[in-house]
């Protein structure tokens, strides 16, 4: 390991977990990632390996069969996984968000029912908030849940579900319009169980996952729509048991998800730096290694500084959340900085590779297509800046 992206103050258990994951990434993910990505093939064997390592239960409390680790541990694990292949980190991210939401907001019955099987990887979670016409305006949500006795009837169309096909549990945000004063208190999160697969779901009448959305990058993991047509969900599958709290539950999930996306940006950027500095010492021009050219040394220095800065910002945001403090400012900063720096570091590594960076034989080509997703995942850069700006005005408001 190089000296970049090191984290001070880790426990021996945390260091052991990261060493194990790093070894798994080097042996089981990096050698096959590009081939699987080019085929857009789901990494079944890698997922089975992560199950055996207990990664699906990393943050789930020990009383429910998990490892009970912190958000920081999880973020550092995600950074390592994304260094190998960002799509694999996406497979665990939405699962992690749903598990976090159930643990933080679920009823005791929901925790006991879902979390042990989520920890084992038997139940795999997906997170469904976005819609085709929604963008960043969550208040414009149109998918509805209408009460009918002891059930709710759900109708609408959701978009951009990571793990939409392979998941067996989807946390779905719907409008329930049960009399609250603001649209944000008229939203409810439903825990919808289903069987994996595409097309009409055989066990949930009215639920359809049409198929994978074709993407520029972020391949291997399935990204889908979700169509709900008179889908009936028992009222006891409202997250927390009480309607009207869905927006705030989802925002809590998105907040930890932003730390995750920052960690993914750190991992991809670190891998791009590794590829760039390695290639620079192999390729020769004008009679010497290109790493000996001052222009390339400047580029490597800038790349390394961005890798380090993004990593430390991500660690700070995770530690704030673990400490029970409000961290929307730090999470927004970390997500914004890490995703922007990731794009820049990947592009610099691409430039170092020259023409070969455009070839599918080289790993940097895959990273170049993957980095843009981080600019929009869990909220665009503009949304992060809006969140950060508002929080700064709260913190630095002058007396009138």
Catalytic residues: 378
Rounded Cα–Cα distance for residues 193 and 200 (Å): 14
Rounded Cα–Cα distance for residues 108 and 104 (Å): 10
Tell me the torsion sign for CA atoms 94, 117, 212, 205.
negative
Rounded Cα–Cα distance for residues 364 and 366 (Å): 5
DSSP-derived letter for residue 327 is -
DSSP 75-113: HHHHHHHHHH-HHHHHHHHHHHHHHHHHHHH--HHHHHH
CB neighbourhood size of 19 (10 A) = 12
Token pair listed for 71: 């958000």
Question: Phi/psi at 288 (nearest 5 deg)?
Answer: -155, 165
- Helix/strand/coil for 169: strand
**C-alpha separations of 400 from 221, 396, 397 in Å:** 52, 12, 9
Rounded Cα–Cα distance for residues 155 and 140 (Å): 15
Is the CB of residue 97 less than 8 Å from the CB of residue 257? yes
Element counts in the chain: helices (H) and strands (E): 11, 10
Rounded Cα–Cα distance for residues 185 and 90 (Å): 29
Strand segments (E) across 48-197 = 125-128, 144-148, 151-162, 169-175, 187-193
Token pair listed for 62: 């020990």
The residue length of the chain stands at 400
Neighbouring residues of 153: CB distance < 8 A, sequence distance ≥ 6:
145, 146, 230, 231, 232
Tell me the torsion sign for CA atoms 44, 46, 49, 55.
negative
Rounded Cα–Cα distance for residues 280 and 290 (Å): 5
Pairing of strands 207-209, 223-234: antiparallel
């Amino acid at each position: 390991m190089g000296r970049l992206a090191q984290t001070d103050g880790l426990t021996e258990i945390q260091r052991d977990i990261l060493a194990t994951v790093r070894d798994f990434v080097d042996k089981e993910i990096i050698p096959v990632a590009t081939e699987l990505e080019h085929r857009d093939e789901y990494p079944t064997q890698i997922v089975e390996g992560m199950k055996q390592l207990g990664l699906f239960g990393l943050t789930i409390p020990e009383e429910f069969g998990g490892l009970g680790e912190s958000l920081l541990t999880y973020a550092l694990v995600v950074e390592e996984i994304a260094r190998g292949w960002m799509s694999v980190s996406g497979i665990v991210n939405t699962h992690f968000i749903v598990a976090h939401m159930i643990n933080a907001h679920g009823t005791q019955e929901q925790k006991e029912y879902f979390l042990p099987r989520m920890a084992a990887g038997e139940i795999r979670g997906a997170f469904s908030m976005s819609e085709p016409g929604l963008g960043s305006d969550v208040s414009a949500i149109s998918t509805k849940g209408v009460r009918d006795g002891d059930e709710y009837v759900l109708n609408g169309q959701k978009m951009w579900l990571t793990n939409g096909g392979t998941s067996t549990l989807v946390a779905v945000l719907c409008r329930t319009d049960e009399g609250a004063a603001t649209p944000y208190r008229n939203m409810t999160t439903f825990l919808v169980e289903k069987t994996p697969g595409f097309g009409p779901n055989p066990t949930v009448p009215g639920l359809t996952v049409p198929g994978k959305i074709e993407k520029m990058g972020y391949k291997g993991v399935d990204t889908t729509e979700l169509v709900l047509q008179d889908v009936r969900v028992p009222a006891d599958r409202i997250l927390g048991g009480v309607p009207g709290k869905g927006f705030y539950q989802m925002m809590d999930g998105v907040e930890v998800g932003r730390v995750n996306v920052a960690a993914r940006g750190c991992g991809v950027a670190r891998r791009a730096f590794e590829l760039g500095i390695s290639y620079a010492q192999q390729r020769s021009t004008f009679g010497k290694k290109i790493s000996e050219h001052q222009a390339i040394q400047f580029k490597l220095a800038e790349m390394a500084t961005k890798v380090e800065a993004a990593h430390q910002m991500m660690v700070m945001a995770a530690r704030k959340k673990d400490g029970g403090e409000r961290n929307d400012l730090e999470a927004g900063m970390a997500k914004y900085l890490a995703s922007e720096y990731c794009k820049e570091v990947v592009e610099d590594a691409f430039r170092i590779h020259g023409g070969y960076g455009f070839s599918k034989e080289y790993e940097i080509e895959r990273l170049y297509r993957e980095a843009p997703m981080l600019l929009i995942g869990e909220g665009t850069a503009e949304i992060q800046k809006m969140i950060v700006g508002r929080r700064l005005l709260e913190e630095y408001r002058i007396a009138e």
